[in-house]
Amino acid sequence: MFTDRVGVLSNDFFVVLTDMAYQWKPTGRNTYDMCDRKTGQTQWTASRVDLVFGSNSVLRAYAEVYAQDDNHEKFARDFVAVWSRVMDADRF
């Protein structure tokens, strides 16, 4: 989840994912620890899917757009638009 604000629609996932203060360390077959580069302390646990958003150049570009300080509202609008499209896909 990469957030302390559980239940809130926010761009925290993208902010944490693109923050260079963290280093990805494999812990198992499909999991990674996101550790603080200075202290080495684990801050978050991530999956391979999360890693794709951080390592694939196209997905990373989208993540960086949503991670910007002034793009919280853009993320919320885009999320609601896509969610509505998905929810209405089989209605008509």
The pTM assigned to this predicted structure is: 0.80
Over the stretch 55-86, which tens digit does the pLDDT of each residue have? 899 999 999 999 999 999 999 999 999 999 99
CATH code of the domain containing 28: 1.10.420.10
Specify the number of domains making up the chain.
1
Over the stretch 7-19, which tens digit does the pLDDT of each residue have? 888 888 899 889 8
Question: Residue 32's Cα: distance from chain center in Å?
Answer: 14
Residue 56 lies in a domain: yes
- 90 in helix, strand or coil? coil
> 28 - beta bridge partners?
none
Place of tokens 């008509």: 92
Q: Which domain holds residue 67?
A: 12-88
Q: Which of 11, 30, 20, 29 is nearest to 77 (CA)?
A: 11
- 85 in helix, strand or coil? helix
Cβ atoms of 44 and 16 closer than 8 Å: yes
Residue 45 lies in a domain: yes
Q: Give percent above pLDDT 90 in the chain.
A: 47
